Amino acid sequence: MNVEGKTEKEVYECLVDKEVIGKMVKETNDYAEQYFAAHPNLPKRSRVRKWKPVTDHEMEKWIATTFLCALNSRPRLNQQWSRHRLYASGIFSAIMPRDR
């Protein structure tokens, strides 16, 4: 692929098109269904019980936060969503909730 003269977004869209996003969404949702079938007795307060099927838009957001994590390093992943003045950036919580 010739990337000369292309923006970062254009290169990304060449590598991760709608078909790839759709496949990632399908596989993620299929895995969740399999997980629930294999674990019918989850605790009442389990965070997993709040699961909702992933959409294409949410998958794109997840990919964006994954890229941002590489640029905005923190000791622990959950600190990307921190409100602590030392770690807070605001961008992650603006894109998607931590526990989604």
pLDDT tens for 40-78 read: 999 999 988 889 999 999 999 888 888 877 777 776 777
- Reading the block at residue 66, the tokens are 């994954």
The alpha-carbon radius of gyration of the chain (Å, integer) is 17
User: What's at 100, amino acid-wise?
Assistant: R
Q: What does pTM read for this prediction? A: 0.71
CA 36 to chain centre: 20
69-88 pLDDT tens trace? 777 777 677 767 766 666 66
What angle do the packed helices 18-38 and 56-71 form, to 10 degrees? 100
Position 31 scores a pLDDT of 97
Locate the domains of the chain by residue range: 8-95
Dist CA 74 CA 18 (whole Å): 30
